[in-house]
Amino acid sequence: MVPRKPILLSPPNFRQEKSTGYPCVKKGAGLSVPPRAPRMGKMPLLTPREVEANLKGLGFSFKNQVGSHRQYEKAATATRKRAVVTVDVGYQQFSKEGMKRMIRQSGYSKEEFCSGVAKDEVPAPPLATPKAANGGKR
């Protein structure tokens, strides 16, 4: 009986290369590939708590809840229309589409919505604390 040759699953001169993250570019090929820079317009995916905190920072107030859907409302001003944002608190983290939907409902830009600070509105001055009648002495 003639011994059989072992079955090779890969070519005999095949060697594993570490991936550079770029297709069709092998390490040691003489090419210097710079690392990819993060996209500036990438959508941050927030949790319901973060979205609610940002909405409160933008001046929205809680309006209504049906099941796991909470609605936050901001009354109309001289420069903005009335806005109602629905937040589904049943999610651990919102998808890209869910974030876009809430940003569109709020009427703010992506940067304003995700930071919780509006660029065109002046923040309210801090509340003054009343002084004690006896001059602060006990």
pLDDT in tens, 37-93: 444 468 888 999 999 999 999 999 999 999 999 999 999 988 889 999 999 999 999
- Of all helices (H) and strands (E), which one includes residue 99? helix 96-106
Q: Is the pTM of this model over 0.75?
A: no
Q: Which are the contacts of 93, defined by CB distance < 8 A and separation ≥ 6?
A: 45, 46, 47
Question: Where are the domains positioned within the chain?
Answer: 48-115
Q: CATH topology for 48-115?
A: Metal Transport, Frataxin; Chain A (3.30.920)
pLDDT in tens, 49-64: 999 999 999 999 999 9
Measure the CA–CA gap between 46 and 43, rounded to whole angstroms.
9
